[in-house]
Amino acid sequence: MPSDHSLLGFAIRRARLAGRALLEASGAPWFVPLDKLKAEAAKSAHPLVSFANYDYLGLSDHPAIKAAAHDAIDHIGVGALGSRLVGGERQIHAEFEERLAKFTGFDGCLTLVSGYLSNISTISYLMGKLDLIVYDQLSHNSIVSGVMASRADRMEFRHNDIDHLRAILTEHRGKYQHCMIAAESLYSMDGDIADLPGLMKLKEEFGCWLLIDEAHSIGVMGKRGRGICEHFGEDPARIDLVIGTLSKTFATCGGFICAQKMVRDFLAYTLPGFVYSVGLPPVIAAAAGKALDILEAEPERVAGLQRNGRHFLEASKKAGLNVGVATGDAIVPVHFADIKTTVAASAHLLDNGIYAPPIVHMGVPSALPRIRFFLSARHTPAEIERTIQVLKEFSAALPAAAAN
Ligand SMILES: Cc1ncc(COP(=O)(O)O)c(C=O)c1O
């Protein structure tokens, strides 16, 4: 038992446990001063190349999106200034939600102020003490936190292992009133894709609700960027809840829930994360709405992103880098043997004008540190090749035990 019970003492002990000393000593690139780096790079021959940001379609500084935001500020204002249920809503909320619903193949959509909140609130609110949640072992923390916050029983199935999910449902489904299966679409840390047809089949066979987190697949997967259903040619109506975010493809922030209209309306009156939280700022709805216009009008951005993802994956494999189970869809992790090597590799990339942070425990299991690369439609083939070359040279210089 520690003798110091203060919050400060607790924080220091926990930070030590998280390896803070090691990470700080080895110059880990956390919280890098991005503005400063970009300004410095602009003066040099090589601009900073970032793989740290999920700007999938390269819309983060699109002039039309900025103009839409300016216009919304001038005509509507910045904030929603209240929960929409009681504070009233702006026309742009309904218009944007209708368009998002249509785009994803649903007839209902509800926006919240964050993707994280959308998962946590939806899962914890819907699932009660007579219920069961079965979720993929590698689910994002917002799913896991929603599961933990609910009063339902919970079970993990092995990552993307449909046979394991079937075994759990066969043994346990009958004991519960409702059962939710929760999974991601494109996995945020490993860059592989959920077996959606398998999940749909089991959901129907065992009478479950299926929640799919499409944070990383809207604008990314499918010919027109409509997500994992378009990728597999499946009918979105076979999913009960799609959770999405505006922070990635839509280059702003906020979350959304797509569902059947009756479900959406029920959530609009009751979901705590919606009812007891401020509405999406109208300026964000305007900017994200413009991003949706561009996504619909320029499917070549989706094709460019998909090309870059495949290029990065193939070039990494060719260079002998360990990309785990990644499928080359916008997220590619490169694994290293230990945290120290991962941090050093990331620092080495930054020295070469390439920003891609290390992902270590708690974000991923402690034995599986990695650098995670987010691809964008905006990356050039030359940037991808140079990045792989820098990593290849770094790996070649490692002692055999540290190579992975
Ligand atoms: C799979 C997944 N779901 C949800 C979220 C949370 O989204 P937001 O950043 O909009 O809160 C993230 C964030 O990166 C994510 O990767």
Cis peptide preceding 180, ω within 30 of 0: no
Nearest-atom number in ligand 1 for the CA of 247 is 10
Residue 144: CB atoms within 10 A of its CB come to 20
Q: What pLDDT sits at residue 108?
A: 98
Spatial separation of the C-alpha atoms in residues 161 and 151, rounded to whole Å: 25
Q: Let me know: does 369 contact 338? Beta carbons within 8 Å.
A: yes
Q: Find the helix packing angle between 282-297 and 299-318, rounded to 10°.
A: 80
Neighbour tally for 164: CB within 10 Å = 17
Contacts of 41 (CB under 8 A, 6+ apart): 47, 48, 353
How far CA 236 is from CA of 115, 138, 307, in Å, comes to 19, 23, 25
Contact 345, 394 (CB under 8 A): yes
Q: Which helix (H) or strand (E) holds 172?
A: helix 162-172
Q: Which residue puts its alpha carbon closest to atom 3 of ligand 1?
A: 215
Task: Provide the pLDDT for residue 389.
Answer: 97
Nearest Cα residue to atom 7 of ligand 1: 115
What is the pTM for the complete model shown?
0.95
Cα dihedral sign, 282-284-290-293: negative
Contact (Cβ atoms closer than 8 angstroms) between residue 254 and residue 114: yes
Atom 10, ligand 1: which residue's CA is nearest? 115
What's the pLDDT at 30? Answer: 78
**In 3D, which of 207, 230, 206 has the Cα closest to residue 218?**
230
Q: What is the pLDDT of residue 3?
A: 82
Return the residue whose CA atom lies nearest to atom 16 of ligand 1: 188
Ligand 1 neighbours by CB, cut-off 6 Å: 114-116, 119, 140, 142, 184, 188, 213, 215-216, 245, 247, 253, 255
For residue 128, give both structure tokens: 């009660």
Give the position of tokens 């189970």: 325
Nearest C-alpha neighbor of 105 from the set 224, 270, 201, 202: 224
**Alpha-carbon torsion angle 385, 386, 392, 396, nearest 10:** 150
pLDDT number for residue 23: 64
* Ligand 1 atom at minimal distance to the Cα of residue 187: 1
Q: Which amino acid is at 371?
A: I
Cα separation, 376 vs 312, whole angstroms: 11
Rounded Cα distance between 214 and 220, Å, is 10
pLDDT digit of tens for each residue in the chain (404 aa)?
Answer: 678 899 999 988 888 777 665 666 566 677 888 888 888 888 887 789 999 999 999 999 999 999 999 999 999 999 999 999 999 999 999 999 999 999 999 999 999 999 999 999 999 999 999 999 999 999 999 999 999 999 999 999 999 999 999 999 999 999 999 999 999 999 999 999 999 999 999 999 999 999 999 999 999 999 999 999 999 999 999 999 999 999 999 999 999 999 999 999 999 999 999 999 999 999 999 999 999 999 999 999 999 999 999 999 999 999 999 999 999 999 999 999 998 899 999 999 999 999 999 998 777 888 889 999 999 999 999 999 999 999 999 999 887 766 56
Q: Which of 114, 135, 142, 214 to mutate for ligand 1's pocket (most ligand atoms within 8 Å of CB)? A: 142
**What pLDDT is attached to residue 403?**
59
How confident is the model at residue 21, as a pLDDT?
Answer: 58
Q: What is the predicted pLDDT for the residue at 404? A: 65
